[in-house]
């Protein structure tokens, strides 16, 4: 069986396209706070939202115990992202 590297890892046209989409999104944004958060995220050395097994188990239990979100609550969350 032949093994190959993922094409995305070395595909410069994909990487350039991703950079272009980021630049376009930045150009469309006038929210200084959002831009600052993006900048900080790009310079972080850790992955956000990474949990230990214990933290994930607790988060999952709390999520399951909290029940389902209403349609209105879901729309409000997506509205924050402009969707």
- The reported pLDDT for the residue numbered 36 is 92
Q: Which residues contact 41 (CB under 8 A, 6 or more apart)?
A: 48
Is residue 75 a part of any domain in this protein? Answer: yes
Host domain of residue 53: 7-80
Is residue 30 a part of any domain in this protein? Answer: yes
- The reported pLDDT for the residue numbered 58 is 92
Q: Give the largest Cα separation in the chain, rounded.
A: 51
Number of structural domains found in the chain: 1
Predicted confidence (pLDDT) per residue in 1-53, tens digit? 565 555 555 567 888 888 999 999 999 999 999 999 888 888 877 766 778 88
> Cα 5 from chain centroid?
24
Is residue 16 a part of any domain in this protein? Answer: yes
Q: What average pLDDT does range 63-68 have in this prediction?
A: 85
Q: How far apart are the first and last CA of the chain?
A: 44
User: Residue 75 above 80 pLDDT?
Assistant: yes
Distances (CA, A) of 2 to 5, 80: 10, 46
Is residue 14 a part of any domain in this protein? Answer: yes
Is residue 2 a part of any domain in this protein? Answer: no
- The reported pLDDT for the residue numbered 10 is 58
């Amino acid at each position: 069986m032949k093994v190959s590297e993922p094409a995305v890892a070395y595909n410069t046209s994909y990487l350039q396209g991703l950079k272009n989409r980021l630049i376009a999104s930045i150009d469309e944004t006038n929210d200084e706070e959002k831009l600052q958060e993006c900048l900080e995220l790009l310079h972080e050395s850790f992955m956000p939202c990474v949990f230990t097994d214990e933290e994930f188990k607790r988060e999952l239990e709390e999520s399951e115990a909290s029940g389902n979100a209403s349609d209105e609550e879901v729309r409000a969350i997506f509205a924050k992202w402009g969707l």
